[in-house]
Amino acid sequence: MDPLSITVAVVSLSKLCKTVMSTVREVLERMRKSKKVLLDLLDETERVRLLLESVRELALQLQRQKKTGVLFDIHLNECERTILELQSFATVLAVRGRSSQIWRAITWNQYEAKAEILLAHLRVQEEHINSVLTLTAAKSTINVEAQMSELLSRLSVESTIVDTFGSISVVDNQDKPIQVNLPKSNEIPIWFGYTLAEGFSHDYLDARHALSEAAYWGDWESLREQWEEGKNDYGENWINCSRLKSPQMAPGLTLWAPIHQAVYNCATFDEIRSMIEKGALRTLRTRKADEFTHDNLTALEIAQELGRTHLYDILSPIIHHPLPRPVLEAIEQRFHHLIHTDLETYSFSEYLHLPSLDVLTELENPEMWFPLPPLQFQMQSKIGYQFRLDGRSLLVSRRGLMGRESVQYYRIYENERVEIEQAIAFKM
């Protein structure tokens, strides 16, 4: 095939792969225990898609360099046939899964052999596309050694399924547990949305108060010391927390985080850079700002109000996960509705500062933990919401609210919220 035909064909195939992956993921998220062959199908489809995108990239390079005489000895018809067959198979599984609350072993036996055959076909396509890439690059005399190295690295990372909430349980075709080392999230930022000075130990409250005071008065050395205490003594990164207050004082909370105070109190460029390196969120907004004409300010907006032009670049967030504003707001509203419904009988719920999903868009790993103090529930276990952007949806893990050690999982879209058995996502 010539480069122009390749670029056109790959676009539709890549889109088809994404559709298939979405359907397979839906099937997996409705299973209490993942069939390993389905996880492998999901992983392999993404590998094929990434390879196809690399073929398109090479074809575009050849077009730009007017090397139209170089042809790709690639059989995209075979690839398309395999992916269409997988789409049909995944659709049948999805329909079957929607009509049944639980996948039973006897149900899965009907589909096991077909899944294995499709996986084998996909792996053949991966090998074929990989060899075509290498051969075509060699014939074209384009130096793509660095590109091929980057591609292999991307394949190993971007096609890796992440056990986001530790929810994935994998079994073989006989329902026997399999040990699969899926990567889990490392330390994740905290959304400090519980604003009351209740439900914590006196030592914890004293430490949080000391950090807020240090930020308010611009005592950056003390701020660093309190930040270290939060990490070492309580296992929390306090760089994005705001002041805690009593229920009587809570309505007046401004929700200024240390980075807002740092800009207002004329911290040096190095001090602000240090806060960002510690995890300060540049999309985080205040609730009130009586010192200015507007509320709901980011640190960048405060710098603009004060004319601190040397801070504009460092305070401008890098958005790693851009979503259309209406989509993000719709997902956020559904997430907030879930929290309101869960906590409506608790008196403290009216003082919560619910998560802004804007902050997830600037995180390379778009995941956060919104803890609630266990003492408010007369419990000692971990309670709260862990949430993660996954494309144009939000994965949510609700922990401890329905009883000790209870966990429920949801995937929230712009138009609906779906309860799932486990959360499936790719590493970003």
Query: Do 159 and 23 share a domain, yes or no?
Result: yes
Higher model confidence: residue 75 or residue 127?
127
Q: Is the pLDDT of residue 339 over 70?
A: yes
Q: How far is CA 33 from CA 28, 90, 142, 176, in A?
A: 8, 17, 46, 10
State what percent of residues in the chain have pLDDT above 90: 56
Domain membership flag for residue 184: no
| Of residues 3, 80, 14, 18, the one with CA closest to residue 52 | 14
Query: Do 352 and 306 share a domain, yes or no?
Result: no
We report the CATH number of the domain holding residue 261 as: 1.25.40.20
Residue finishing a domain among 315, 346, 363: 315
Say what the pLDDT of residue 374 is. 73
Average pLDDT for 151-167: 68
For 356-377, how does the pLDDT look when each residue is reduced to its tens digit (9 = 90+)? 999 999 999 999 999 988 766 6
Q: What is the number of other CB atoms lying within 10 angstroms of the CB of residue 59? A: 26
Higher model confidence: residue 102 or residue 99?
99
* Structural domain total, the chain: 3
Query: Do 370 and 270 share a domain, yes or no?
Result: no
Residue 260 and residue 243: Cα distance in Å, rounded?
A: 12
Element (H, E) at 396: strand 394-399
Say what the pLDDT of residue 54 is. 84
Q: Tokens 């395999």 appear where?
A: 82
Average pLDDT for 104-127: 84
Residue 68 and residue 178: Cα distance in Å, rounded?
A: 49
Query: Do 403 and 256 share a domain, yes or no?
Result: no
Domain membership flag for residue 178: no
Residue 106: pLDDT band (50, 70, 90) is very low
Q: Is the pLDDT of residue 45 over 90?
A: yes
**Paired strand residues for 425:** 162
Query: Do 56 and 88 share a domain, yes or no?
Result: yes
Range of weakest confidence among 162-171, 216-225, 291-300, 390-399: 162-171
Domain membership flag for residue 114: yes
Say what the pLDDT of residue 176 is. 62
| Of residues 262, 35, 272, 29, the one with CA closest to residue 164 | 29
Residue 321: pLDDT band (50, 70, 90) is very high
Quote the pTM value: 0.87
Domain membership flag for residue 408: yes
Domain membership flag for residue 185: no
| Of residues 233, 322, 227, the one with CA closest to residue 277 | 227
Residue 279 and residue 276: Cα distance in Å, rounded?
A: 5
Residue 348 and residue 196: Cα distance in Å, rounded?
A: 8
| Of residues 148, 4, 144, the one with CA closest to residue 69 | 4
Long-range contacts of 13-18 (CB under 8 A, 24+ apart): 13/49, 13/52, 13/76, 13/79, 13/80, 13/83, 14/49, 14/52, 14/53, 14/56, 16/80, 16/83, 16/84, 16/87, 17/45, 17/46, 17/48, 17/49, 17/52, 17/83, 18/49
Residue 282: pLDDT band (50, 70, 90) is very high
Residue finishing a domain among 271, 293, 315: 315
Q: Is the pLDDT of residue 130 over 70?
A: yes
Query: Do 119 and 17 share a domain, yes or no?
Result: yes
Higher model confidence: residue 394 or residue 198?
394
Query: Do 130 and 83 share a domain, yes or no?
Result: yes
State what percent of residues in the chain have pLDDT above 70: 83
User: In this structure, are residues 136 and 378 in contact, taking their beta carbons and an 8 Å threshold?
Assistant: no
Say what the pLDDT of residue 70 is. 56
Residue 338 and residue 244: Cα distance in Å, rounded?
A: 24
Residue finishing a domain among 315, 342, 358: 315
Domain membership flag for residue 343: yes
Average pLDDT for 77-106: 80
Q: What is the number of other CB atoms lying within 10 angstroms of the CB of residue 198? A: 18
| Lookup: tokens for 378 | 């007369």
Domain membership flag for residue 197: no
Q: Is the pLDDT of residue 418 over 50?
A: yes
Average pLDDT for 402-425: 89
Query: Do 287 and 218 share a domain, yes or no?
Result: yes
Domain, as residue range, for 232: 202-315
Question: Which DSSP symbol is given to 391?
Answer: S
Q: Is the pLDDT of residue 383 over 60?
A: yes
Say what the pLDDT of residue 285 is. 97
Query: Do 227 and 306 share a domain, yes or no?
Result: yes
Query: Do 36 and 157 share a domain, yes or no?
Result: yes
Query: Do 286 and 390 share a domain, yes or no?
Result: no
Q: Is the pLDDT of residue 123 over 50?
A: yes
Q: Is the pLDDT of residue 292 over 60?
A: yes
Higher model confidence: residue 167 or residue 383?
383
Q: Find all residues with CB under 8 Å of 168, minimum gap 6, and list them.
A: 34, 161, 180, 182, 422, 423, 424
Say what the pLDDT of residue 174 is. 57
Domain membership flag for residue 180: no
Query: Do 330 and 415 share a domain, yes or no?
Result: yes
